[in-house]
């Protein structure tokens, strides 16, 4: 017959100071048990570890299959280590080295890296704790341990389950944060490659897209973004779908999407402190071109040429973008097409310029020109006479009239008088 173990429960004050990593609350409870309990239980450690593993596999669906590979090795080692640490700490708290903490963090990291469920792992810990308690309580009753000692043992088991669970949650969270940071860096690099000029090779983009877990679309739309005056740039970035590439911190903030209809709704609701200019839909290889026209559109908004709306689409302002494509060329065109106006005063240039544009737009209809300009028809005829004197045969040339119309429309958009200088 087994002899009852000593019923003395050591005072926790006998343990090392809590400042050491090994003096965890759970192991301190184990240390409060009589040392004789450890000597008697040590031959049973392999058995209880096996029962814990069997119980976990029978109760947690995710662990029902044989545990193989790195994850299986880590779980098996963790169960064995848990049993050894608890029993070792009964005899000597300092013997339970703090490597168990790192081991259970590693379990959490491995769960994340393998794409497993953290909830299933925590369920496994609870199941394992119950299995350990059933075995140890039966063992303690066989030794005729007093009830208070069994209560301490139960408390120690479930306190240890809480501690190892916390370690694994920490390891899982650390791995998740590290992976998120790595993925974010890869997606930022992918965005740079997609918008690079000259374009990156398709192979390079495909490789980085795979590393960034970003599905390659056939076509994309690039949205230029700009914070409005007074907008707090520290405001959290909006939540966007995984297939959207977003950069709010670079020199040219932008968003790349394959589904602009969906994501423009997000911009309206979640980015009220930003203005957005939407480039044309293009092949992925031409994303930099979409960004170029998005920013050209944004420039027209800044200059007041296009209305400052929350979202401005380049496709709705193509003629303006084309007319103002190159202001150097516009000045050259102005000098050639509107040279006859150079000798006039600024006021005369404005009046005759608007009359000439109205004449070109209205196909020479005097009443229509008068209505548009809100002047008397006789005034229109007088100005048209001046234009004939100034331009002569150019007013009969289709190509010359086209150049005049382009130049005059561009200056109307810019708010400048025909020769290309600011009207005063």
> In terms of domains, do 170 and 104 share one?
yes
The confidence score (pLDDT) of residue 16 equals 46
> In terms of domains, do 145 and 253 share one?
no
Q: Which ranges of the chain have pLDDT less than 70? A: 1-23, 95-98, 230-238, 417-424
- What's the CATH code of the domain at 388? 1.10.10.2840
Q: Distance between CA atoms of 372 and 187, rounded to whole angstroms?
A: 54
Q: Is residue 357 part of a domain?
A: yes
Give the domain-ending residue among 323, 343, 365.
323
Give the domain-ending residue among 271, 288, 323.
323
Give the domain-ending residue among 119, 153, 178.
178
> In terms of domains, do 317 and 364 share one?
no
> In terms of domains, do 42 and 168 share one?
yes
* pTM of the complete model: 0.57
Sign of the alpha-carbon dihedral angle for 322, 327, 331, 336: negative
Q: Is residue 368 part of a domain?
A: yes
> In terms of domains, do 244 and 317 share one?
yes
DSSP line for 188-245? HHHHHHHT-SSPPPHHHHHHHHHHTT-PPPSEEEEEEEEEPTT--TTSPPPP--TT-E
> In terms of domains, do 285 and 334 share one?
no
The confidence score (pLDDT) of residue 122 equals 92
| Rg value, the chain, Cα | 39
Q: Is residue 32 part of a domain?
A: yes
How many separate domains does the chain show?
3
Q: Is 256 helix (H, G, I), strand (E, B) or coil?
A: strand
Sort strands 311-313 and 274-283 into parallel, antiparallel or unpaired. parallel
Q: Is residue 255 part of a domain?
A: yes
- What's the CATH code of the domain at 283? 3.30.70
> In terms of domains, do 173 and 59 share one?
yes
Task: State CA 129 to chain mean position distance.
Answer: 39
> In terms of domains, do 167 and 79 share one?
yes
> In terms of domains, do 160 and 278 share one?
no
- What's the CATH code of the domain at 52? 1.10.490
> In terms of domains, do 98 and 63 share one?
yes
Domain that holds residue 378: 327-414
> In terms of domains, do 116 and 173 share one?
yes
Q: Is residue 200 part of a domain?
A: no
Q: Is residue 185 part of a domain?
A: no
Q: Is residue 420 part of a domain?
A: no
Q: Is residue 4 part of a domain?
A: no
> In terms of domains, do 33 and 151 share one?
yes
């Amino acid at each position: 017959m087994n002899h009852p173990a000593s019923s003395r429960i050591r005072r926790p004050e006998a343990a090392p100071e809590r400042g050491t990593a090994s003096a965890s609350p759970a192991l301190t409870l184990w240390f409060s048990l009589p040392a004789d309990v450890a000597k008697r239980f040590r031959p049973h450690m392999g058995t209880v570890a096996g029962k814990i593993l069997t119980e976990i596999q029978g109760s947690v669906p995710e662990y029902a299959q044989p545990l193989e590979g790195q994850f299986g090795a880590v779980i098996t080692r963790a169960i064995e280590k848990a049993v050894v640490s608890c029993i070792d700490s009964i005899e000597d708290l300092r013997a339970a080295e703090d490597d168990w903490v790192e081991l259970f963090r590693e379990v959490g990291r491995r769960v994340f890296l393998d794409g497993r469920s953290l909830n299933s792992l925590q369920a496994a810990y609870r199941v394992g704790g119950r299995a350990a308690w059933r075995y140890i309580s039966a063992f303690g009753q066989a030794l005729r341990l007093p009830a208070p000692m069994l209560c301490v043992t139960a408390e120690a088991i479930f306190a240890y389950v809480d501690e190892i669970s916390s370690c694994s949650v920490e390891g899982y969270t650390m791995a998740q944060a590290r992976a998120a940071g790595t993925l974010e860096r890869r997606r930022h690099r992918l965005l740079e490659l997609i918008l690079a000029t000259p374009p990156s090779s398709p192979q390079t983009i495909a490789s980085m897209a795979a590393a960034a877990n970003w599905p390659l679309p056939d076509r994309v739309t690039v949205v230029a973004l700009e914070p409005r005056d007074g907008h707090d740039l520290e405001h959290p970035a909006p939540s966007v779908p995984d297939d959207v590439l977003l950069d709010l911190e670079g020199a040219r903030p932008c968003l790349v999407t394959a589904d602009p209809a969906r994501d423009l709704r997000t911009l309206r609701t979640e980015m009220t402190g930003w203005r957005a200019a939407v480039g044309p839909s293009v092949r992925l290889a031409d994303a930099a071109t979409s960004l170029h026209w998005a920013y050209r559109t944004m420039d027209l908004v800044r200059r007041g040429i296009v209305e400052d709306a929350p979202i401005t689409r380049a496709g709705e302002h193509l003629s303006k973008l084309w007319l103002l494509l190159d202001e150097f060329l516009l000045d050259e065109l102005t000098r050639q097409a509107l040279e006859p106006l150079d000798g006039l005063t600024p006021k005369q240039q404005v009046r005759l310029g608007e009359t000439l544009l109205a004449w070109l737009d209205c196909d020479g209809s005097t009443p229509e020109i008068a209505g548009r300009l809100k002047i008397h028809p006789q005034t229109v005829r007088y100005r048209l006479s001046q234009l004939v004197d100034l331009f002569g045969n150019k007013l009969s040339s289709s190509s010359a009239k086209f150049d005049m119309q382009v130049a005059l429309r561009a200056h109307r958009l810019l708010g400048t008088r025909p020769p290309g200088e600011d009207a005063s």
